[in-house]
Amino acid sequence: MASYQVLVQNLRDKFNQGVLSSIESRKEQLQAFHKLVSENQDALCEAMWKDLHKPKIEGLTHETDFLLGEISETISNLKSWTSPTKVTRYILQAADAAYIQKDPLGVVLIIGAWNFPVRLLLGPIIGAIAAGNTVVVKPSELSVATSELIAELIPKYLSEDVIKVVQGGAKETTELLRERFDHIFYTGNPAVGKIVMRAAAEYLTPVTLELGGKNPVIIDKDADLQTVARRIVWGKCANAGQICVTGDYVLNLHPKRDELVKYLSEAIIEFYGANQKESPDYGRIINERHFDRVSELLETTKGKIAYGGEKDRDSKYIQPTVLVDVKLDDILLKDEIFGPILPIVDMETIEQAIDYIKSKEKPLALYMFSQNSSRIDKVVKNTSSGAVCINDLIMHMSLGTLPFGGVGNSGMGRYHGKFTFDTFTHEKSVLHRAAGLEKLLFMRYPPHNENKLTWTRRFIAKLKVPF
């Protein structure tokens, strides 16, 4: 605990001394960050393979390439993002200057997740450094190989005056959370998110919580089932289903459910072969504890397995599994599955699907496959979720101009692209008043009278300055 106090205080001292006060110093660190990722892509992918059996192409496209693009975009836009923003003035401020100053927050803590152990840990760091903060970063202890590699690489590329890595498990994280930070960014599950928020409350520290939830997939009655199946299998089986924004369960309105199951099975075999265990493109569950949790769901559900169901604890393998005849009170619909299990619930009407979604905690993402714009609009307007993606899974995350974040139980705050910069920035209001023109302010000073009230009302009316 004493060492954490020293670590945080040293970073605070460096922040107060202006280690990242200039745009040039921030760019220098971001360029070094780009080199860290670009020069170690193979090593990072190898570590993710050890932790999750993650295929190299997924490691590149889902994690490292995403980071490289975001770092480059941030460097290119850093000057405009950090520049003061002028705001509208009215007659009362005609002779004044009014703008928003972009200030860094101070020392921030970023706690990463194990399912995307590179992207979800390093992504927030980009905006934190761009905004001028010093950073304590805590990798997940569950993704052992990746966490150790990142802890080794960061000091080699980035200044220790700017960023420090803390490793460890729940005990170390608990002790770290006793320290005072100026912002905490946590990616994980709601249960730990509540712990982080309680710790942050001690110092009134703002938090960004990127959590998860049971993301519904609505299949409308007019959907092209073959296309739907391929896109669902891609989104559900990537990373062995261990994705916070993947589809958690299907609410099926299509009358040809058996045809849907057939196409889902065919897509699984097309993507991963008849024996998915032998596929180099299919991942594994992170550890035995999570394997046992997901296995218990399969053993407890009253749904009928329509495809899959095989598992092997020694290799932490769970086959892509599709279930039908799943009832609304089934164990599979209680908590987030976070594994390659897809329960299908049959529904009669779009209203029934909407009512069910609204009866649950707000999801991180909601998906709908439909060609009917009015029904799509009805779902979008009558449900609440972190994001909505129509006719695909997960792809909303690929567009950096869309903010990513949850709502309610699925999280708070947002990031990606400029939104990450904004998360770690305080927008300070600045009004620079003219020193003269005192006589024009006669109406605001006592003693008050009707004449002064008339003039005051004229001046406070929302009449914009014409220049």
Q: Which residues are catalytic?
A: 210, 244
How many angstroms separate the CA atoms of 34 and 73, rounded? 11
3-state secondary structure 21-38: CCHHHHHHHHHHHHHHHH
Q: In the sheet where 183-187 sits, what is the strand order?
A: 163-165, 134-138, 107-111, 183-187, 207-210, 411-412
Can you spell out the DSSP letters for 429-440? EEEE--S--GGG
Q: 134-138 and 107-111: which strand pairing?
A: parallel
How many angstroms separate the CA atoms of 366 and 292, rounded? 27
How many angstroms separate the CA atoms of 395 and 28, rounded? 31
How many angstroms separate the CA atoms of 342 and 248, rounded? 7
How many angstroms separate the CA atoms of 207 and 177, rounded? 12
How many angstroms separate the CA atoms of 291 and 446, rounded? 74
Q: What are the φ and ψ backbone dihedral angles of 324, each rounded to 5 degrees? A: -120, 175
Alpha carbon 2 to its chain centroid, in Å, reads: 31
Of the candidates 261, 257, 258, 252, the residue with the CA atom closest to the CA atom of residue 218: 252
Please give the single-letter amino acid code of residue 158: L
CB neighbour list of residue 22: distance below 8 Å, 6 or more residues apart? none
User: Helix (H, G, I), strand (E, B), or coil: what is residue 367?
Assistant: strand
Alpha helices in 20-143 (DSSP H): 23-39, 41-52, 56-59, 65-82, 119-130
- What is the chain's alpha carbon radius of gyration, rounded to the nearest angstrom? 26
How many angstroms separate the CA atoms of 134 and 136, rounded? 7
Alpha carbon 56 to its chain centroid, in Å, reads: 22
